[in-house]
Structure 1
């Protein structure tokens, strides 16, 4: 897989993580790496500009409000498919198993193994094939998150679009199109109550 994918995945992992001082200090590195590839910086520029220009306490507060205090922008991929149901434990075990098959020990830092920044960093730094396979498998979750961020006017939506653009097929335009992509009709229940299961998504060739 291309170095461009590695750079996009790692930059996305950092931009979707809690913006502590260490991460904010990586902004010049992200800019330099993304600039290597035509157009790659465009999808990240607004988020990076906020990290550079706003006080850390302000960007941290925004992050907590948008990503930690509610489920509208949940960064755990299996939340979108299994919610807080019992079967989610089996799904999380699937992520752990993927990590165990790598030659490098993956430290989850106390996070659930389906945490999107962790999956992206795993793909970029440890096993591109396995990590990208997880992203393809949970493509519908990525698209639901992207649409939620877009609906709420958050610049992170473009970062999700950058990630989705590395995967097979075009991004759906709305939630019902996500359901059709996943092979299901329009959802009749809330998120986490069987609207669709992206594990059933066909894996198309690149």
Structure 2
């Protein structure tokens, strides 16, 4: 598994609703320690520290407040471009088609622009396909980082790690 696949898969997991297993299983810490990029590792460690510094019910409430009840920090990426405009539906259909064409059809009831789903796809797809998908959503991801930083959300660390990974992917492609 490539470094970017590992990081994007981990980010996908941590951007989903908190799970109690995150606290009882040492594997999460081990997965973070496997990251080679020092900045990305530090960002994940900051988020890991947050996970272990607040009670589980508070984590869940913070997640819901941040992503479910705040339009500026939604995890549905096409919302940043289209809002509730009907063109969003066309974008979602195209995105679903992109998953199918990559040989990784959706098996979830989530909308195809749900960031954890996009990141999971990118963790499984070949690097060029993942990079293309991430570049399509780059503006929305950058906007989400900005909004999470503005409210000092610990989730900004995960998104910043994603941005760092996207940059590393681009630089790696340029170098080859």
- Asked if Structure 1 and Structure 2 have the same fold, meaning a TM-score greater than 0.5 normalized by the shorter chain, the answer is yes
Confirm whether residue 94 of structure 1 aligns to residue 94 of structure 2. yes
Q: TM-score, normalised by structure 1?
A: 0.73
* Structural RMSD (CA): 2.1
Gaps (5+ residues) in structure 1?
170-204
Change beyond 3 A, Cα 1:68–1:26: farther
Q: Deviation of residue 28 (structure 1)?
A: 2.8
Q: Per the alignment, in what secondary structure is the counterpart of residue 44 of structure 1?
A: helix
- Which structure carries more helix by proportion? 2
Q: Deviation of residue 41 (structure 1)?
A: 2.1
Residue in structure 1 matched with residue 149 of structure 2 by the alignment: 150
Residue in structure 2 matched with residue 57 of structure 1 by the alignment: 57
Bigger RCO of structures 1 and 2 (CA < 8 A, at least 6 apart): 2
Task: Please tell me whether the aligned partners of residues 96 and 106 of structure 2 are also in contact (alpha carbons under 8 angstroms).
Answer: no
Gaps (5+ residues) in structure 2?
none
Q: Deviations over 1:16-61 (max 9, x none)?
A: 1101234x25863232122121413211122222323432222111
Q: Deviation of residue 8 (structure 1)?
A: 1.2
Residue in structure 2 matched with residue 133 of structure 1 by the alignment: 132
Task: Please tell me whether the aligned partners of residues 77 and 113 of structure 2 are also in contact (alpha carbons under 8 angstroms).
Answer: yes
Count of matched residue pairs: 168
Residue in structure 2 matched with residue 35 of structure 1 by the alignment: 33
Q: Deviation of residue 127 (structure 1)?
A: 4.4
Change beyond 3 A, Cα 1:74–1:27: farther
Alignment of 1:64-75 (within 5 A): 64-75=64-75
Residue in structure 1 matched with residue 122 of structure 2 by the alignment: 123
Q: Distance in 2 between matches of 1:141 and 1:27?
A: 32
